[in-house]
């Protein structure tokens, strides 16, 4: 599987340094320019956040208030799932106090995801609304990622899913596997109506004539480390966690 969208580190390489997301005082807090600058700063912050592996986002080419995203689930009940989502920021964000709206397309069978709207109830995590300077978009993404690894049945959005998990986990697991299989079968689908955007995250099937050379170049540094007579502690520093230090 190959994605035509640049990875997050490439996209954010040219982002200016940001501290506490502070912008010049002459920006009107309600202006579109301020909102765009704020969201650009928030997007740049993502590259510095740990534990966001497996989740990718990119702003729409049409509006900074609309982001496209996809999460790859690597273990747990939803392992193997490739779930797409849309992140929308409200008007007058971030100073209206309103929380962004994140929805999965299509909806996923999950206690914390609305069965028809696909939305995640973020209000339970931001009980005082969105507070600029305290709250950040990376927190939203961490929350969304976490719901696939830790099953929280308190205040479920989809009560039928929560009830099935408690009463009949075998049926729940079977239903989840159907969701995972469906997500994989749709991974190469074109964008749905209303989201035909150049920045919509698309995937293409592996083509050895195109991708073998790229794959070899990407793996070459790892092969060089494995072949070199370096000390194990030096190898460990290069990210080879299976090599123990003396």
Tell me, letter by letter, the H, E, C secondary structure of the chain. Answer: CEECCCCHHHHCCCCCCCCCCCCCCCCCCCCHHHHHHHHHHHHHHHHHCCCCCCEEEEECCCCCCEEEEEEECCCCCCCCCEEEEEEECCCCCCCCCCCCEEEECCCCCCCCECCCCCEECHHHCCCCCCCECCECHHHHHHHHHHCCCCCCCCCCCCHHHHHHHHHCHHHHHHHHHHHHHHHHHCCCCCCCCCCCCCCCCCEECCCHHHHHHHHHHHHHHHHHHHHCCCCHHHHHHCCCCCCCCC
Same domain, 48 and 140: yes
Same domain, 106 and 191: yes
Same domain, 160 and 192: yes
Q: What is the pLDDT of residue 136?
A: 95
Same domain, 129 and 141: yes
Q: What is the pLDDT of residue 233?
A: 54
Same domain, 7 and 98: yes
Same domain, 236 and 159: no
Which residues are 204's β-sheet partners? 2
Q: What is the pLDDT of residue 13?
A: 43
Q: What is the pLDDT of residue 167?
A: 96
Q: What are the φ/ψ torsions at residue 81 (nearest 5 degrees)? A: -70, 145
Same domain, 19 and 79: yes
Tens of each residue's pLDDT in the chain, 246 residues: 544 444 433 333 445 444 444 444 444 455 778 888 899 999 999 988 888 889 999 999 999 999 999 999 999 999 999 999 999 999 888 888 999 999 999 999 999 999 999 999 999 999 999 999 899 999 999 999 999 999 999 899 999 999 999 999 999 999 999 999 999 999 999 888 888 899 999 888 888 988 889 888 888 887 777 777 654 455 455 444 433 334
Same domain, 193 and 219: no
Rounded Cα distance between 185 and 121, Å, is 27
Q: What is the pLDDT of residue 193?
A: 82
Counting the structural domains of the chain, the total is: 2
User: Could you tell me the residue range of the domain that residue 216 belongs to?
Assistant: 208-246
Same domain, 77 and 186: yes
Same domain, 81 and 143: yes
Same domain, 214 and 95: no
CATH number at residue 67: 3.10.110.10
Distances from the Cα of 72 to the Cαs of 8, 25, 53, in angstroms? 15, 39, 9
Q: What is the pLDDT of residue 230?
A: 53
Task: Return the number of other C-beta atoms located less than 10 Å from residue 196's C-beta.
Answer: 9
Q: What is the pLDDT of residue 219?
A: 85
Q: Is the pTM of this model over 0.85?
A: no
Same domain, 67 and 121: yes
Q: What is the pLDDT of residue 100?
A: 96
């Amino acid at each position: 599987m190959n994605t035509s969208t640049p990875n997050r580190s490439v996209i954010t390489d040219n982002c200016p340094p940001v501290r506490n997301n502070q912008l010049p005082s002459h920006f009107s807090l309600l202006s579109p320019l301020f909102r765009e600058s704020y969201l650009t700063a928030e997007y740049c912050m993502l590259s510095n956040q740990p534990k966001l592996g497996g989740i990718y986002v990119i702003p729409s080419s049409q509006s900074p208030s609309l982001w496209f995203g996809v999460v790859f689930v690597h273990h747990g009940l939803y392992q193997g799932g490739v779930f797409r989502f849309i992140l929308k920021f409200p008007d007058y964000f971030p100073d209206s106090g309103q929380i962004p709206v994140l929805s999965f397309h299509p909806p996923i069978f999950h206690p914390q995801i609305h069965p028809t709207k696909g939305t995640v109830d973020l209000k339970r995590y931001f009980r005082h609304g969105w507070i600029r300077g305290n709250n950040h978009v990376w927190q939203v993404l961490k929350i969304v990622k976490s719901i696939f690894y830790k099953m929280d049945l308190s205040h479920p959005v989809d009560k039928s899913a929560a009830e099935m998990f408690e009463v009949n986990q075998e049926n729940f697991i079977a239903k989840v596997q159907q969701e995972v299989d469906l997500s994989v079968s749709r991974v190469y689908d074109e964008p749905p109506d209303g989201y035909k955007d150049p920045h919509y995250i698309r995937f293409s099937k592996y083509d050895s004539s195109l991708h073998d050379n790229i794959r070899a170049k990407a793996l070459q540094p790892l092969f060089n480390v494995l072949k070199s007579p370096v000390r194990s502690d030096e190898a460990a520093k290069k990210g080879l966690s299976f090599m123990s230090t003396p």
